[in-house]
Amino acid sequence: MDKKQLQRFAVIAMVAIVAAGASHIYTRHTMVTAPSAPAESTSMALAGARGAAGAVPGYLVDPGRAAGQILVVKPEDSVQDAVARAQPGDTIQIMPGVYHQTVYIDKDDIALVGVIHGSDWPTFDGEGKRNDAVLYSGNGVRVENLKIVNYKGNAIMGQAGNNFVIRHNRIANSGVYGIFPEFAQNGLIEYNELTGIEDAAIYVGMCDNIEVAHNEVHGNVAGIEIENSRHAIVENNTAYDNAGGILAFITPGLPIKTTFDVVIRNNFVVANNHKNFGAPGSIVSGVPSGTGIIVMAADDVIIENNFIRDNKNAGIIVADHKSFANITPDPEADPNPDRVSVLWNLFDNNGSDPIKEVRALMVAGLTREGPDLVAVGGGSGSCVAAAGTLKALNIGGWGACKRTSSADIATYLLDKPAAPRALTTADRGKLIYSSVCAGCHAYNVRMVGPPTQIIQALYLGNAQGIADYIANPVKKRADFPPMPPQSHLNADLRLAVAQYLLTVAPPKPVPARP
């Protein structure tokens, strides 16, 4: 490290220390004030924190909303009963103790807030039997201060719920996705810790306007993944000991076809060398262990001021669909990553043991040094700043960045809450497909479950058969995670989504641009 780099490292370290301190203070603040005035304190604190930083405040809670009641739940109580009693605006306060439960929140503006006494947390324990700890489809839902362990599917999953806050939860060994908002707009995921997740610990799927900040993810296959989502900032997180640290992907075969405007900044991305324990044949199992940041097919991604160290395969990989394992093309999705800006980052000791595809590029590039940054496959308009300060491979087509920082992008959160997704009878099957099924079932590739086109072929037009199966699934495939029961959806909705699923058509080729 030269003197300049050292100075920059010192700045990063100070920012991290300040952030850690802020996290501590802020958490205490939330814990102390949440029971008395939950919604207001949150929105003010959020606005305040951003205001203090000179940023545009994002509003996740309608400031004009009336204060609700507080419903206290103890371990012997059913949280679901409290949800049934709750009115929009209410806070469900969960006392310390162990809860063997699954909660489904289908109402708007409900806060599920744990009370932490010293080291005693409210703990949701799925005992390896239950699929999900918290599911929500309401808008304006907040989930915080929960410990969640031993679920099979998801710790916290949002199903088309806008304006969410998922904050300060500790999640371990809880299935395929840890925190998973799907098909949502305007949401904040911060100060969570996640480990032992078989796919992405924090999985932002088909969302818009998302902030992922101050989280700690380790021991997962993927740490943080922004997938088929637009306008997302991933900042001030720590991702270590995952197979892949931070991912920005377009996954083919999903209803949303693009990922763009993603900012990945001020993160620690360290030693993501964990063995990849994703289900064999799945997309995530193709993430090469030892990779700090992966951009696959996503556009307009800014990577700035991250501390990227000790990732054995590579610091950053920018890849197209063709170059990535277990991906088959989607004619409606652009397979190339375009306009990726790698601004100044601190790299150290990446690429000490790269995979063979990267080694082949090293041979072609006449170097023995593993890369901080490697580009594979197509893509255009990408740039790198201070190219001389990093070990880069195969970036011959990249220019020098004109942009020097992402400071002009303070937040992608909206300045007022997003409107709820329209839910008419006609398209409710489609909404459920996008917000529930497509979390695991892509049309023509294997994400987690069998692809939609295979389900169509197996059921031969029998929608009722699908509706019956998803209410009470039985495990059929040894090398796939179990299908979770969708019994929180009523019989009409299950049939509606099954009927819709059978009509999903193959992606059609998009005419080439002139």
Closest CB to other proteins among 408 and 479? 479
Contact 126, 153 (CB under 8 A): no
How far apart are CB 470 and other proteins at their closest, in Å?
Answer: 16
Residues lying near other proteins in the complex (CB under 8 A) are found at: 279-282, 325-328, 444-446, 450-451, 453-454, 456-458, 460, 476-480
Closest CB to other proteins among 194 and 333? 333
Rounded to the nearest 10 degrees, what angle do helices 452-459 and 463-471 cross at? Answer: 110
Closest CB to other proteins among 204 and 358? 358
How far apart are CB 283 and other proteins at their closest, in Å?
Answer: 9
- Of 425, 453, 412, the C-alpha closest to 234 is 412
Q: Are strands 164-167 and 307-309 parallel, antiparallel or unpaired?
A: unpaired
Closest CB to other proteins among 159 and 456? 456
Question: For residue 311, what are the CA distances in angstroms to 97, 234, 268, 272, 347?
Answer: 38, 19, 11, 5, 10
Contact 282, 199 (CB under 8 A): yes
Dist CA 173 CA 194 (whole Å): 8
How far apart are CB 326 and other proteins at their closest, in Å?
Answer: 5
- Give me the DSSP letters along 294-316: EEEB-EEEEEES-EEE--SSEEE
Tokens 């005992």 correspond to 127
How far apart are CB 49 and other proteins at their closest, in Å?
Answer: 44
Dist CA 485 CA 461 (whole Å): 21
Closest CB to other proteins among 9 and 459? 459
List phi, psi (to 5°) of 413: -70, 150
Paired tokens of 510: 């998009």
Closest CB to other proteins among 57 and 255? 255
Closest CB to other proteins among 152 and 446? 446
How far apart are CB 360 and other proteins at their closest, in Å?
Answer: 13
Dist CA 70 CA 82 (whole Å): 10
How far apart are CB 507 and other proteins at their closest, in Å?
Answer: 12
Closest CB to other proteins among 328 and 367? 328
Strand extents, DSSP E, 141-184: 142-144, 147-149, 154-159, 164-167, 170-172, 177-182
Secondary structure of residue 184 in the 3-state scheme: coil
Dist CA 212 CA 343 (whole Å): 20
How far apart are CB 319 and other proteins at their closest, in Å?
Answer: 12
**Torsion sign over Cα 90, 94, 95, 101:** positive
Reduced 3-state DSSP string for 432-497? HHHHCHHHCCCCCCCCCCCCHHHHHHHHCCCHHHHHHHHHCCCCCCCCCCCCCCCCCCCHHHHHHH
How far apart are CB 450 and other proteins at their closest, in Å?
Answer: 4
How far apart are CB 262 and other proteins at their closest, in Å?
Answer: 25
Dist CA 218 CA 274 (whole Å): 9
How far apart are CB 328 and other proteins at their closest, in Å?
Answer: 5
Local structure of residue 215 (DSSP, 8 states): -
Closest CB to other proteins among 57 and 451? 451
Closest CB to other proteins among 52 and 478? 478
H or E segment to which residue 510 belongs: none
Amino acid of residue 486: Q
Closest CB to other proteins among 264 and 279? 279
How far apart are CB 479 and other proteins at their closest, in Å?
Answer: 5
Secondary structure of residue 395 in the 3-state scheme: coil
Closest CB to other proteins among 389 and 453? 453
How far apart are CB 85 and other proteins at their closest, in Å?
Answer: 42
